Amino acid sequence: MVQYVIRRLLQMIPMLLLLSILLFGLVNLVPGGPLAGQGRSRRIRPAKAEILKRQFGLDRPVPIQYVIWLAGNDWMKVDADGDGINDSYGERRGILRGDFGFSYQSRRPVMDEIKDRLANTIYLVGTTLIIVFLISIPIGILSAIKQYSIFDISVTTLSFMGQSIPEFWLGLLLILVFYVWLDNPFTGEPLFPAGGMQSLDQEFSIWDRAQHLFLPVLMGMVGWVAWYSRFLRSSMLDVIHQDYVRAARAKGLRERTVRYHHALKNAAIPLITMFALDIPYIFAGTVYVELLFSWPGMGRLYYQAATGRDYPVLMAVLIIGAGLVFVCNLLADLGYAYLDPRVRYD
């Protein structure tokens, strides 16, 4: 097993390298470039534009820019403003040594920008996923056991509705209902806040954090609860009629043991595949949630970097997302070995 994990990790290195070349080329093919975002509020003089190009390294060919982004520019003297002095913000160590460069917009290190927001996204997505599984797994099991019952038909109808509602439209509807229309009967304020992680005029409070989480989590979980509950229902229906499940019942095992130890454990194997492939998409999907509810996370950072042509931040988010895809696929393979004794990686 250890050799398999090491082999898979080594295979990720060339794949990430090739993907970084492709992403870097596509990002730099976007018309306008970073200076287009810098000149929104005022016109940049040609001399100032040339200085900014030297500061950002945009005066070099794209292949040289990629090499600097990847391996650093220790081999190259950088004089960004033409004063004969090497500028500290022009020095790069490259992502191979953990340096993603500086943000074009904030002039802060990219890793600092990511560190400030990554924990917020993990906090939001983690809470959403926990609630999704606490709701979708029991619903999927009961729908399979009580097939074609009133409960199953009702859940099926609601699931199709949940999958059909556009996520951004649902977020706007939640703001309209819970922030604009409904008021707290005790304070007269809106029932739930429509933005941010916490109230600015209050100290840390679990209740305040929970109120700010309610609408973003509700927006993010509706579609995923519908998706995972329907998928688990289908998988459970394929399993509960297998011979080994009938044999477990014939041996006199309790129905709870048959359902959760024998049936659910095998029905969850394809669910792991779906979950592993969906984790990066869930992080990407937080763009809508974080924009609508002003959540200071990775999704909002990605949107701001894309619209502001902040290439270092944009590339860092894309590479981290790509690495997350590879890692999640590896974890899915390891999950197979845990759930299915027949799967072995030698």
pLDDT at 343: 67
Q: What is the pLDDT of residue 85?
A: 46
Quote the crossing angle between the two packed helices 110-145 and 150-164, to the nearest 10°. 150
Q: In this predicted structure, what is the pLDDT of residue 51?
A: 77
Token pair 């993010």 in the structure block, residue: 220
pLDDT in tens, 138-177: 999 999 999 889 999 999 999 999 888 988 899 999 999 9
Cα torsion 44, 45, 46, 49 to 10°: value is -40
- What pLDDT is recorded for position 18? 94
Higher pLDDT, 198 or 278: 198
pTM value is 0.84
Average pLDDT over residues 100-111: 87
What does the alpha-carbon distance between residue 292 and residue 295 come to, in Å, rounded to a whole number?
8
Mean of the pLDDT values across residues 122-132?
91
pLDDT at residue 75 greater than cutoff 60? no
Q: What pLDDT, on a 0 to 100 scale, did the predictor assign at position 38?
A: 53
pLDDT recorded at residue 273 = 78
Q: What is the pLDDT of residues 166-208, one digit of tens each?
A: 888 999 999 999 999 998 888 888 999 988 898 887 788 889 9
pLDDT for 26 beyond 80: yes
Provide mean pLDDT across the span 131-137.
92
Query: How confident is the model at residue 80, as a pLDDT?
Result: 47
Q: Find the helix or strand (DSSP H, E) in which 125 lies.
A: helix 110-145
Q: What percentage of the chain has pLDDT greater than the value 70? A: 89
> Which of 80-84, 91-95, 192-196 shows the lowest per-residue confidence on average (mean pLDDT)?
80-84
DSSP symbols for 179-245: III-B-TTT-SBSS--SSSS-TTS---HHHHHHHHHHHHHHHHHHHHHHHHHHHHHHHHHHTTSHHH
Q: What is the pLDDT of residues 31-56, one digit of tens each?
A: 777 776 554 445 667 777 777 777 77
Supply the pLDDT for residue 42.
52
Kindly list the structural domains of the chain, giving each domain's residue range(s) and its CATH number in brackets, ordered by start.
Answer: 2-97 (no CATH), 110-339 (1.10.3720.10)
